[in-house]
Amino acid sequence: MLKVIKLNKSYGKERVLRDLSFSLREGDILSILGRSGSGKTTLLKILAGLKEPDGGEVLLRGQPVLHLPPQKRGMVYLYQETLLFPHLNVFENMAFGLRVRKIPGSEIRKRTEQLLHELGMAGHSAKMPEQLSGGQQQRVAFGRALIINPSLLLLDEPFGKLDSRTREEMQELFLRICREHRISVLFVTHDLKEALCMGDRIARMEQGQLKMYAKRSDFIRDAATGAKKEMDFWTGIREESKMKNNEQ
């Protein structure tokens, strides 16, 4: 449903994206792994319409979208920071996308309340953003994006600032809801484990191009991803403790 063809982008002399191409199926979650500065964020911003590419084409359900302003693309970009609107309460933050579409009030209420419930935020609708915990803020930010039924969600290390427990909770919740709503997602992260457990498919950003892995095993086998090294590390520790146990 998403087709990216030969995207190029340079900042001055530095080529950030070089003929980058890939495609995504409806309802798929693609994890994109890459170091900081590898162009992940640039890619997402171009897709969202916040940056202009130097060349290339992006098709969404067969239609070119590069000429459309961000508000007409239906792709929501979520940042590491939740960026909830500080002057709006939880309910209004969630309902934002519906309000700007001039949807009738009764329907806004129905849809927002349902989603609040789904996200486990039903009791918090009147609270202001600063009264919420990090995880709760993330839920609202997520709900704010979901409510407009985006054609594509673009997530830029969304859980990067959460503590590890909240992070796992959010990952689960996120996966469950994306599956239920059949939302297509590009998920950028630099965390190996997160990339593996969130994505139906995994890709790695390198030198301005996206390397897609057909299967997880391919990804793990590729030395450049670091997955192999990581596994060896843990295996090594296990072996070590086994040996120690045997000696005793």
Partner 1 sequence: MKIRYLHRKAGLTLHVLLTLLPLAAGAVYALLYSVGLAGSLAAGFTLRYWESLVSRGTLWQTFAYSAYIMGVSIVLSYASALAMVISARGRLMERKGSRIFYLPLAMPALVLAFFAFRFLSGGGWLASLAFGSGLIASPQEFPELVNDPYGLGIIFVHFLLAFAFFSIYLDRVYANERIEEQVQSAQLLGAGYRQSLRRVVWPMILRKTWPAISLYGLFVFGSYEVPLLLGRSTPEMLSVRIVRMLSRFNLDDRPEAFAIVFAYMMLTVLLVFLLRKSKGGLR
Partner 2 sequence: MKPVTGKILWALLASLFVLPAAYLLLLSFSASWHFPLLFPDALTGKWWSLGFTSRFALLGSMGLSLGIAAGVSLLSTFAAFFSSRWMALSRYRSALLLSAYFPFVLSPVVLAAATYIFFVRLGWNGTVAGVAFAHFLIAYPYAVILFSGYWNERLLTMDALAATLGAGSFQRYRRVLFPLSRGVLALALFQTFLISWFEYGLSSYIGLGRVPVLTVEVYRYISEANPHVAAVASLLLVFPPLLMLWVNKRFLIRLI
Edge-to-edge, what's the strand order for the sheet holding 29-33?
Answer: 75-78, 152-156, 185-189, 29-33, 201-206, 209-213
Does position 243 interact with partner 2 (CB under 8 A)? The reply is no
3-class DSSP assignment, residue 129: helix
CB nearer partner 1, residue 49 or residue 143: 49
> Contact with partner 2 (CB under 8 A): which of 101, 193, 221, 238?
101
Q: Smallest distance from the beta carbon of 215 to partner 1, in angstroms?
A: 36
- Binding positions for partner 2, 149-178, rule CB under 8 A: 154
- 208 CB neighbour count, 10 Å cutoff: 20
Does position 107 interact with partner 2 (CB under 8 A)? The reply is no
What residues have CB less than 8 Å from 215, skipping those under 6 apart?
none
| 169, burial (CB in 10 Å: exposed 0-12, middle 13-18, buried 19+) | middle
- 13 CB neighbour count, 10 Å cutoff: 5
Backbone angles phi, psi at 114, to 5 degrees: -60, -45
Tokens 């789904």 correspond to 118
CB nearer partner 2, residue 34 or residue 49: 49
Q: Which does 129 bind (CB under 5 to 8 A by kind): partner 2, partner 1, none?
A: none
- Of the ranges 33-41, 73-81, 186-194, 222-230, which one interacts with partner 2 (CB under 8 A)? 73-81
Query: What is the Cα–Cα distance from 177 to 121, expressed in whole angstroms?
Result: 14
CB nearer partner 1, residue 65 or residue 183: 65
- Of the ranges 83-91, 112-120, 162-170, 197-205, which one interacts with partner 2 (CB under 8 A)? 83-91
Q: Smallest distance from the beta carbon of 97 to partner 2, in angstroms?
A: 4
Does position 100 interact with partner 2 (CB under 8 A)? The reply is yes
Query: What is the Cα–Cα distance from 27 to 38, expressed in whole angstroms?
Result: 26
- Of the ranges 22-30, 85-93, 172-180, 206-214, which one interacts with partner 2 (CB under 8 A)? 85-93
CA 53 to chain centre: 20
**Residues binding partner 2: number (CB under 8 A):** 27
- Binding positions for partner 2, 31-50, rule CB under 8 A: 48-50
Q: Which residues bind partner 2 (CB under 8 A)?
A: 48-50, 69-71, 73-79, 81, 83, 85-87, 96-97, 99-101, 144-145, 148, 154
